[in-house]
Amino acid sequence: MTALALKLNPSADLFQEDFAANSGDLPGAGLAWLDERREKAMDAYVMTGVPNRRVEAWKFTDLASELEDRLESTAAGSAPYIDEKVFGVAEGARVVLVNGILWDVTQAEGLEIVDLGKIDAKTPDWVCANLGLLASGPDQPMGAASLALMRSGVAVRVKASGVLNLDFVNPPLARDAVSHTRILIVVEQGASLKLLQSHSGAGTHQSFANIGIEFVLKAGAQLEHVVLQAEAATAIHVASIGAVVARDAQYRALYAATGARLSRLDVNIHLDGPGAHASINNVAVPGYGIADTTTVMDHAKPHTTSRQLFKSVVGGRGRSVSQGRVLVREGAVKSDSHQLFKALLMSPRAEADAKPELEIFADDVVCGHGTAIGALDEDALFYLRARGIPEAEARGLLVRAFLEDAISGIAGEAVHDALWRKLDVALAAFDGAET
Amino acid sequence: MSMLEIDDLHVVVDGKEILKGITLSIPAGEVHAVMGPNGSGKATLSYTLAGRAGYEVTRGRILYRGEDLTALKPEERAAKGMFLALQYPVEIPGVVTLNFLKTALNAQRRARGEPEVDALRTLKLVREKATALKIGEDMLKRPLNAGFSGGEKKRLEILQMALFEPKLAILDETDSGLDIDALKLVADGVNMLRAPDRAMLVITHYQRLLSHIVPDRVHVLAKGRIVKSGGADLALELEQRGYEQVAAA
């Protein structure tokens, strides 16, 4: 099967060649534990290579055909334009990565931050104990590639509570380029972190940001995770998230995607102890490209709960892909999961693909799902207009109303308002992108 | 002066002619009722007057205060002082009722070149009108019509009418889905808004609403035409004898 996949998918060579030629020069090369994990990840990646539509989990998103061109790795050194704090949150630590390479770290009390680009024998044990164990298997091939080829990144440990602004800034590149970046976050027992992650970009060259993110949530830990993907229109963006959520720990996420020619959020959550909970709200507003969020919610232990809400507003020739696989393993009784997929199509050529999937191997569980895809409600539009609200404003009001429940209720007002500012810009651009 | 002048109005919906030549005139200060059985064209008449897309005027015209409305959008008609209270007010989760009221009020004011009102002033205006309709502040904080009872929805429609102060109000089956107490509350709200410079068109299937909102004229609509007009007594006659007999007489 491996050989066949390789033949079908010659672009797999792109990253294999990179690994063959450069693995000895990658950060931490020579550390036995890391070499071994990188090798293993490369093997996992090679099983599919860059995924195309023949890979079931990628049937709606053909990354291979988008990555036909050869891409060189980015290097540090280009001057970043640093956005104001994207979410308007002044507190906490800040990590800035420029074209996938760590640029700047502002420390804050309560957070331990390690530069993965300088990983060596002195790297703390908690990094060695965790790095590369998640988002690196054959089920997340691009995550595996991001570990095998990791050039930069950070590891963060939270012992009590903290806020981390994690800003990926992608200034214009001089040529097409790829970056492989890893993020590891360990939230210790009973600790909590608010993680505000942004991706912003500009330029006309093809950039491919390949990011692997690991979350280790110990018992009772809490992670609030907000992602705003506002990449340049030529960018390709793949982020693979792997999380282990221990007993009574909670992962609460809001993912928003407004940019990129192709973006894929590949999420794998492992609910690993009674009382573990994950909630994901996903908001995608593609006006031209593909915005794909694919999740696997793995209820591995009894009494675990998950909630997922996918909302897309699609304009122009944009396409949203929302896939949610819920797995309830044998013995994971009293698991409780729900997922809801809703999409609004704002133009005749807009497309939304939604695919809920359930695999249940335990009794006494509650698993619900629902899907609704359609245009704006004409009755509602007429109602608002008949009360004097002009058509464009009425449409905007209804779109806002549609998305609001997915955006409210996480990370506070400043974040809520910052997200809306970006979403408003993306939605306003729909009219120009029509047909 | 005539507030509304409908002249030989023909309307086609989905390729089918529903209104087949309606002529009707409502002077300022009067309340007229249009009564008709199911399928007579009542809803088509109200949607056409409000300018809903898909209701194509193929012949005749609608004059509102002397101006031909046919080419105007729904929001333009609203800004000019027309108001349609819907039979089924639409539920819009995610839009807070009070915000909606402020947005609509200011959209109309903007279109008329009047200064906008801020949130505080809106709240004050709304409060003044809401008390009589027994609309509490909690209802205004809820999403627009979402989860409202039938009575709550209709009261909110009348609240909007009071807030926007239209010159012409069209009430489409405002009595549907109301129990007796709610009906009385809504009718009292409407009666309070009767004024010499305001006209109303009450569209209804049943006579019972017209016991509370007593019209100056009653018109019977059947198969897309006004087949009979008369005073308030005509509504009672319809109730006793039925549409078929009265229409045939």
According to DSSP, the residues that pair with A226 across neighbouring strands are A196, A254
Rounded Cα–Cα distance for residues A184 and A133 (Å): 10
The pLDDT of residue A81 is: 63
Query: Minimal Cα–Cα distance from B89 to chain A, Å?
Result: 8
Rounded Cα–Cα distance for residues B217 and B232 (Å): 6
- Reference A100, options A176, A178, A25; nearest CA is A178
Rounded Cα–Cα distance for residues B229 and B139 (Å): 40
Rounded Cα–Cα distance for residues B111 and B76 (Å): 8
Rounded Cα–Cα distance for residues A160 and A194 (Å): 12
- Reference A239, options A209, A260, A215; nearest CA is A209
Query: Minimal Cα–Cα distance from A342 to chain B, Å?
Result: 14
pLDDT tens digit string along B87-112? Answer: 999 999 889 999 999 999 999 999 99
Q: Do A388 and B107 touch (CB under 8 A)?
A: yes
Residue with tokens 């500012």: A421
Rounded Cα–Cα distance for residues A192 and A190 (Å): 7
**B residues 37-96 near A, CB within 8 Å?**
50-53, 73-75, 77-79, 84, 86, 88-90, 92-95
Q: Do B104 and A400 touch (CB under 8 A)?
A: no
The conformation of residue A186, written as its DSSP 8-state character, comes to E
Query: Minimal Cα–Cα distance from A399 to chain B, Å?
Result: 9
pLDDT tens digit string along A289-334? Answer: 999 999 999 999 999 999 999 999 999 999 999 999 999 999 999 9
Nearest to B111 among A383, A384, A388 (CB): A388
The reply to whether B104 touches chain A by the CB within 8 Å rule is: yes
Q: Do A387 and B78 touch (CB under 8 A)?
A: yes
pLDDT tens digit string along B14-67? Answer: 999 999 999 999 999 999 999 999 889 999 999 999 999 999 999 999 999 999
Q: Do A380 and B107 touch (CB under 8 A)?
A: no
User: Rounded to 5 degrees, what are φ and ψ at A174?
Assistant: -80, -15
Q: Do B95 and A402 touch (CB under 8 A)?
A: no
Rounded Cα–Cα distance for residues A388 and A382 (Å): 10
CB contacts of B102 in chain A (<8 Å) are none
What is the arrangement of strands in the sheet containing B31-35, beginning at the earlier edge strand?
Answer: B82-85, B168-172, B199-204, B31-35, B217-222, B225-230
Q: Do B53 and A382 touch (CB under 8 A)?
A: yes
**What 3-state DSSP class applies to B150?**
helix
Residues of chain A with pLDDT under 70: 1-12, 68-84, 432-435
Please state, as a whole number, how many other Cβ atoms lie within 10 Å of the Cβ of residue B106: 18
* Nearest chain A residue to B145, by CA: A380
**What 3-state DSSP class applies to B144?**
strand
Nearest to A400 among B77, B79, B94 (CB): B94
CB contacts of B52 in chain A (<8 Å) are 382, 386
Please state, as a whole number, how many other Cβ atoms lie within 10 Å of the Cβ of residue A332: 23
The pLDDT of residue A1 is: 34
**A residues 385-404 near B, CB within 8 Å?**
385-391, 393-394, 397-398, 400-404
Q: Do A404 and B94 touch (CB under 8 A)?
A: yes
Query: Minimal Cα–Cα distance from A195 to chain B, Å?
Result: 26
Query: Minimal Cα–Cα distance from A424 to chain B, Å?
Result: 16
E-strand spans in A286-350?
290-299, 305-314, 319-328, 336-345
CB contacts of A379 in chain B (<8 Å) are 88, 90
Domain boundaries, chain B: 2-248
A323, A330 Cβ separation under 8 angstroms: no
Q: Do A401 and B94 touch (CB under 8 A)?
A: yes
Q: Domain B2-248 has what CATH class?
A: alpha beta
- Which of A313, A378, A383 to mutate to test binding with chain B, by most B CBs within 10 Å of its CB? A383
The reply to whether B142 touches chain A by the CB within 8 Å rule is: no
CB contacts of A384 in chain B (<8 Å) are 92, 100, 104
Q: Do B86 and A398 touch (CB under 8 A)?
A: no
The token pair that represents B243 in the structure block: 């549409």
Q: Do B74 and A377 touch (CB under 8 A)?
A: no
A41 CB contacts (<8 Å, ≥6 apart)? A132, A136, A144, A145, A147, A148
**What 3-state DSSP class applies to A331?**
coil
What mean pLDDT do residues B228-236 have? 93
What Å distances lie between residue A182 and A86, A131, A162, B36, CA to CA?
A: 21, 9, 20, 71
CB contacts of A399 in chain B (<8 Å) are none
- Which of B52, B142, B160, B172 to mutate to test binding with chain A, by most A CBs within 10 Å of its CB? B52
- Which of A309, A381, A387, A416 to mutate to test binding with chain B, by most B CBs within 10 Å of its CB? A387
The pLDDT of residue A434 is: 46
- Reference A117, options A134, A142, A140, A95; nearest CA is A95
B170, B83 Cβ separation under 8 angstroms: yes
Q: Do A401 and B52 touch (CB under 8 A)?
A: no
The token pair that represents B9 in the structure block: 């109005």
Please state, as a whole number, how many other Cβ atoms lie within 10 Å of the Cβ of residue B234: 21
Q: Which helix (H) or strand (E) holds A3?
A: helix A2-8
The token pair that represents A267 in the structure block: 């999420």
The reply to whether A375 touches chain B by the CB within 8 Å rule is: no
Q: Do A385 and B75 touch (CB under 8 A)?
A: yes
Q: Do A386 and B103 touch (CB under 8 A)?
A: no
User: Rounded to 5 degrees, what are φ and ψ at A29?
Assistant: -60, 135
**A residues 403-432 near B, CB within 8 Å?**
403-405
Nearest to A380 among B77, B79, B92 (CB): B92
